[in-house]
Amino acid sequence: MESKSLCYVFATLIFSYFVLKHILKFLSSGKVKLSLPPGSMGWPYIGETFQLYSQNPNTFFASKIKRYGSIFKTRILGCNCVMISSPEAAKLVLVTKSNLFKPTFPASKERMLGKQALFFHQGDYHAKLRKLVLRAFMPEAIKKIVPEIESVALSTLESWDGRSITTYQEMKTYTFNVAMLSILGEDEVLYREDLKRCYHILEKGYNSMPINLPGTLFHKSMKARKELAQILAKIISLRRQKKRDHSDLLGTFMNDTEGLTEEQIADNIIGVIFAARDTTASVLTWILKYLGENASVLQAVTEEQEGIMKFKEELGEEKVLNWSDTKKMPITTRVIQETLRVASILSFTFREAVEDVEFDVLVTHYAIAFRKMTRGNIPHKEVDVIK
């Protein structure tokens, strides 16, 4: 049962609505509207943030769903939201009516990662950054660092010798080290420990209330965030002095032809490391779990990997993995693809309704209205209503 609850896929999305606007709009239109879904809002502003993040988020969702059904309202990190967890509702938001929702994050997360990070934007700026990020992770860019990635993997394995580990934590460390390679290249060695320390602090405060007072997790995180930006500024200025081109992500961002400001570069580097680390570490953890549960697949993967090394040995070559070796791993590749297909990588994500959306979920008989957040793109006519 344990594994079943682990595997439980929560395609849960968080939405915000604006109660005042709802009431005003209701009064002014005179039209009967579907009401908001059931649920509790918790404390003013703080809402139910602690209930969600002080335990496994799945526990929070499970108890809410039991009480209110698959669609309920709550307040998280200062945002009024509607949470959905049924496949029908998720499909509506992500596929059939996706044009009515835009990606968003609570303001606290935006402040922590940096307002200029690509996931907080849409349109041309988003498209341009997305292209740059993808370029830095294309085979052309990754090819050259395969041996370095292998050596990170080997030293990670060595560090596990003779002790029991928490897989997800170890995978986060490993992913961080690999991310550093493809994002900052050789420059990272000097700053790795400082970067790691700052990230660790930032991460601890990532789900905290945005209360910037001395002593709060949020305050500590914001300080670490500042230090991260300073480290990056140092790396950037050293690179400018040396005038050498780099093919890593920082080099791509720094390319003059892209015209990015230093703040935009820093926000996006910090954001990409943050986004890449947790999701990748999560995939790796699932892979290990699935392999651990299926002896025959584990054996096939092991044989495939050992076969590659044996082949090199027979050719009298150095036992160092290179790009063309990674092309000879059909079984390993299938395990990765299958894991990406079945595992739930994120427990939930955020969307903001650009206008009110109503729908009846026939399966559950719930009528819900998605509402927009209290900040961001509120269309003009509605701003008037709020005033």
The residues of the shown chain that bind ligand NAG, judged by CB under 6 A, are 245, 247, 251-252, 255, 257, 294, 296-297, 312, 315, 317, 322, 324-325
Nearest residue to 291 (alpha-carbon basis) of 332, 328, 348, 325: 332
Alpha-carbon gap, residue 306 to 354, rounded angstroms: 53
Is the Cβ–Cβ distance between 83 and 14 less than 8 Å? yes
Quote the least distance from Cβ 342 to ligand NAG, whole Å.
Answer: 11
List C-alpha distances in Å: 265 to 4, 150, 167, 199.
Answer: 42, 28, 32, 17
Residue number with CB closer to ligand NAG (91 or 328): 328
Nearer to ligand NAG, 182 or 252 (CB): 252
Cα–Cα separations (whole angstroms), residue 190 to 207, 245, 266, 276: 29, 19, 18, 21
CB of 296 to ligand NAG, least distance (A): 5
The SS3 assignment for 146 reads: helix
DSSP state for residue 35 in the 8-state scheme? P
Nearer to ligand NAG, 180 or 335 (CB): 335
Bridge-based pairing of strands 71-76 and 79-84 is: antiparallel
Nearer to ligand NAG, 113 or 181 (CB): 181
CB of 185 to ligand NAG, least distance (A): 11
User: Least separation, in Å, of the C-beta of 289 and ligand NAG?
Assistant: 12
Nearest distance from C-beta of residue 65 to ligand NAG, angstroms:
29
Q: Which is nearer to ligand NAG, 89 or 272 (CB)?
A: 272
> Smallest distance, Å, CB 335 to ligand NAG?
9
Q: Are the beta carbons of 176 and 193 closer than 8 angstroms? A: no
Distance CA 366, CA 35 (A): 10
- Cβ closest to ligand NAG, residue 128 vs residue 312: 312
